[in-house]
Structure 1
Amino acid sequence: MDTMTRAMPAFLPDGSVQVPAFTLPVSGLVSEEAAALQRLRAAMPVFDASGQEDDIAVRRAQINAYMAPQIERLRATFPVIVTRGEIGGVEVLDVTPVEGGHDPQRVLINLHGGAFCVGWDGVALVEAIPIAALGRIRVVSVNYRMAPEHRHPAGVEDVAAVYRALLADYAPGRIGIYGGSAGGALTAQAAAWLASHDLPQAGAIGVFGAGAVPFGTGESAYVTGYIDASFPRPPADGSAPVDITRGYFAGCDLRDPSAWPGWHPEILAAFPPALIVTGTRAMDLSPAIFTHSQLLKASIRSSLIVAEGMGHCYHYQVALPEGRDAIEAILRFFREALA
């Protein structure tokens, strides 16, 4: 009885909960491939998404080097043509399938992850290659401006410039926008930006590994800080968290509708259909759930996928059945929404 008492959580008067130390087992609901990957983590160094390298050029090179083996595998599995160019005055990667052509009437804009400061073009290719090849669709990945050189709304301005230029060749209802992590948050910002800047709304958006409210809001970032360690935990005392964006939102109000439209029902009411993807071990779980619920309250068609035992942006891992399932769901969503 005494052991059971000590193992129970303690509920404090301010609503906080003191959780006793525990061991979290691998879920019995994940694939054997995902379970094997979890077991491998015992021998792998922890990936630190916050990054301790002061020189942003070095950090960007580190991320690209980290992604390089995965990109090599993806290009071997999913043959694509990658063309570097400009659209609307913004650098892009134009990614199309090698064989059989692609849908001439539809296009997807990809906004890469990387905490608003890294990810071009390593993360961009990881996000674009499987979608272009499996979806038989053109994917335009945007090199939007990032920190520390730039501040919000630089990134969403670049997305709008590319979108505006693509309107010369595509109907707005046939243009989809998607992204993971920072790119997922930027996707939500883009939907808000288009509606408030006299541009026709896109046909659909995909917000993956993110939400329309800041990372770190809600419970999931705190819990994930104990079970994953890739991202720093928000301080329990409410003090300022580690800024992994390197100042991208410096001077921006946390309720700014152009940055975080999830707080503003009147802005969400102008959103197109949305697909939101997260996982039970993802630091973005709370923002994703909140954004989904707010979109439903605003009478917007929203679908939410929460994958059991999966972490941040698990859809990058197409070798896992869960990752492949997510890609198939993403493609199915855009096929239907951009019809």
Structure 2
Amino acid sequence: MGQDQAVPQFDANGDVRVPAFVLPVSGLLSAEAAAFQRTRATMPMFDGAGTQEPDIAARREQINAYAATGVARLRENFAVEIVPQTIGGVEVLDVTPADASHDPDRVLINLHGGAFTVGWDGIAMMEAIPIAALGKFRVVSVNYRMAPEHRHPAGVEDVAAVYAALLEDYAPGRIGIYGGSAGGALTAQAAAWLPAHGLPQAGAVGIFGAGGVPFDAGESAYVAGYIDGSFPPPPADGSAGIDITRGYFVDCDPRDPSAWPGYHLDVMATFPPTLIITGTRAMDLSPAIFTNSQLLKAGVRSTLIVGEGMGHCYHYGLHMPEGRDAVAAILSFFCENLN
């Protein structure tokens, strides 16, 4: 090491002062993923400048417009039927293979991403279409209540209402729940909520791009803020940054097990088999690792997949082998466990 090369500085309180450095594209990536990394300079970074669109209706339109190209591509590549309806008093999209080849005895509940504020119905369709088509599943994507209009536990209450209604037609062991980002966190909340409120546990859950603790818990939110850039890092001075959930958890105790079950081993022990997917460049890496460790400690079967060089919710990226591998793992997991 040269004398003039910058090195980390370790403070007495354990903080690390990291020098500026260049992070090369991983040599372990597929050619498609490496090419995608090179496009990051032209991609939008929502709220990256430390500001937030004040009009939630405008932000929802913005996110749906951003998702529209991907949704159109999915509709071209995957033949599905999408039927808006109401289940348990909650608006849903009922997504099935167009040829009705899905297993009539199994169903998946999808909880879309979007920081508990956006994502209906653009992100919902991105999450539901490939799973329904490739896995031959009926996927019920839930339009759960979000902020700023609503607060926790509104979203998980809606999920429970849909789940309870589906129990009229499906055995609980044949119902799976999955979601990405906020939907992944909401999936963890649902797994905690169902048995705590007298409902039988689902057969299996998939927590993708999230964990059972807040997104800013642990180190990865800081690291990913600088090497991935999809979300800004927490302020360096320890002050509160942008609340991307727009107050969804404002009145919630930071350790409330209905919101963040990962802190509570007794709650985690009630979880069904769980699949967790994150990436080495994802802000959710630390919550995912911690949640997996807690589940294993609680005696629950948990599988953690960490995509090398991958960012937040990389399983959306079917243009990459890594994204396709993640989706294949999701389908295999639910096929194995919903029986």
State the alpha-carbon separation in 2 of the partners of residues 58 and 188 from structure 1. 29
**1:250 corresponds to 2:250:** yes
The 1:102/1:51 distance shift into structure 2, 3 A limit, reads: farther
State the alpha-carbon separation in 2 of the partners of residues 290 and 221 from structure 1. 13
Residues 212-248 of structure 1, C-alpha deviations (whole Å, 9 max, x = no match): 0001000000001111222121223332232000000
Residues 292-339 of structure 1, C-alpha deviations (whole Å, 9 max, x = no match): 000000000000000000000000111111000000000000000102
TM-score, normalised by the number of residues in structure 1: 0.97
Alignment partner of 1:194: what SS?
Answer: helix
Give the match for residue 72 of structure 2: 72
Give the match for residue 104 of structure 2: 104
Alignment of 1:59-208 (within 5 A): 59-99=59-99, 101-208=101-208
State the alpha-carbon separation in 2 of the partners of residues 176 and 201 from structure 1. 10
Which shifted more, 166-175 or 92-101?
Answer: 92-101
State the alpha-carbon separation in 1 of the partners of residues 137 and 97 from structure 2. 7
Alignment partner of 2:39: what SS?
Answer: helix
How far is 1:11 from its partner?
A: 1.0
State the alpha-carbon separation in 1 of the partners of residues 103 and 51 from structure 2. 39
Give the match for residue 8 of structure 1: 7
**1:18 corresponds to 2:17:** yes
How far is 1:51 from its partner?
A: 6.5
Give the match for residue 293 of structure 2: 293
Which shifted more, 98-107 or 86-95?
Answer: 98-107
Indicate conservation of the 8 Å contact 2:97/2:136, yes or no.
Answer: yes
Indicate conservation of the 8 Å contact 1:208/1:313, yes or no.
Answer: yes
The 1:312/1:168 distance shift into structure 2, 3 A limit, reads: same
State the alpha-carbon separation in 1 of the partners of residues 44 and 163 from structure 2. 39
Indicate conservation of the 8 Å contact 1:48/1:229, yes or no.
Answer: no
State the alpha-carbon separation in 2 of the partners of residues 288 and 85 from structure 1. 33
How far is 1:6 from its partner?
A: 4.0
Aligned residue pairs: how many? 338
Q: Which letter does structure 2 place at the counterpart of 1:74? A: L
How far is 1:46 from its partner?
A: 3.3
Alignment partner of 1:185: what SS?
Answer: helix
Indicate conservation of the 8 Å contact 2:51/2:242, yes or no.
Answer: no
Q: Which letter does structure 1 place at the counterpart of 2:267? A: I
State the alpha-carbon separation in 1 of the partners of residues 43 and 337 from structure 2. 40
Q: Which letter does structure 2 place at the counterpart of 1:41? A: R
Alignment partner of 1:91: what SS?
Answer: strand
Give the match for residue 212 of structure 2: 212
Alignment partner of 1:7: what SS?
Answer: coil
Q: Which letter does structure 2 place at the counterpart of 1:153? A: P
Give the match for residue 40 of structure 1: 39
How far is 1:45 from its partner?
A: 4.0
Equivalent pairs: percent with the same residue? 73
Residue ranges of structure 1 left out of the alignment (5+ in a row)? none
How far is 1:101 from its partner?
A: 1.6
Residues 225-273 of structure 1, C-alpha deviations (whole Å, 9 max, x = no match): 1112221212233322320000000111110010000000000000000
The 1:20/1:122 distance shift into structure 2, 3 A limit, reads: same
Give the match for residue 223 of structure 1: 223
Give the match for residue 335 of structure 1: 335
The 1:232/1:161 distance shift into structure 2, 3 A limit, reads: same
4+ residue segments displaced more than 6 Å: none
